[in-house]
Amino acid sequence: MEKNPLLLQHDTLHHMLLSIKGSNTAALAFSLVRSMLGFRLFEENCRAALEERVEFMNPDVGACNAALEGCCCELKFVSDAKRVMGTMSSLGVRPDESNFGFLGYLYALKGLEEKIKELDVLMGGFGCLNKKGFYCNLIKGYTKSGNLASVEATIVRLLNDGCGKDWGFGVETFCEVIKVYFQKGNIKGLANLIVEAQKIEGSNIAVDRSIGHGIVNACVTIGLSDKAHSILDEMNVQGLLSVLGSIYLS
């Protein structure tokens, strides 16, 4: 089915829906089925546009993004994502930053580092110079797979690329990061990440826009103030808290 979703028949769908009815994973399962159907419809439209020359069925970049998001974020099929990108190329649909972001998430989730490097180069070739969204999606993929080393490396790289200036992460991204660190009991890792970020940020960025503030604020946001204090305590043990300033304690 991953290689050819068009083989999915109506009776197969019927049995799938019956099997998940009332289960604890029903919401997720229905979401996957919806994505399969959406991808199936997308491919049928593109087939008509390409083979039968039905021009009004040509998808725009928004429709391609919707199909790609389903492949990358819900179905998580690399082969399907490649087919969407191939179809876009055949139809002359120019990729945008969202395209690369969805692919970045999937490749990070799957640990496909060479593919991520290729995306980075392609973004420049297509004039997608703002890579904050791309990096955010990489971080989400790495946190989903529990790859803390790559989370840290991506954050550090973004800061280096921006000369320590505003990272542009939202609270949601920070919350995802701290949750996976806490799940692994790695308070020390978060403290070290803040310190490494501070070395790059220096005085180039306001404290309330720094990585350290984002991490501590995320702890407070999800009701884990005690964890925020644990991070600061760890930094204090290492003699590094003064580097960041007392504002984190407020």
Mean pLDDT of all residues in the chain? 82
Note the pLDDT of residue 75. 85
- Nearest-angstrom CA–CA distance, 135 and 112: 15
State the pLDDT at residue 34. 55
pLDDT digits (tens, 9 = 90+) for 69-108: 989 998 898 999 999 999 999 989 999 999 999 999 999 9
Q: How far apart are the first and last CA of the chain?
A: 53
d(CA 149, CA 147): 6
The domain locations on the chain are 1-94, 146-250
Checking if the pLDDT of 17 tops 50, the result is no
What pLDDT, in 10s, does the model give residues 122-170?
999 999 988 889 999 999 999 999 999 999 999 999 888 876 666 678 8
Question: Which pLDDT score, from 0 to 100, does residue 18 have?
Answer: 54
Contact 248, 212 (CB under 8 A): yes
Q: How far apart are CA 233 and CA 241, in angstroms?
A: 8
The tokens of 89 are what? 């190329």
Structure tokens at 57: 């069925």
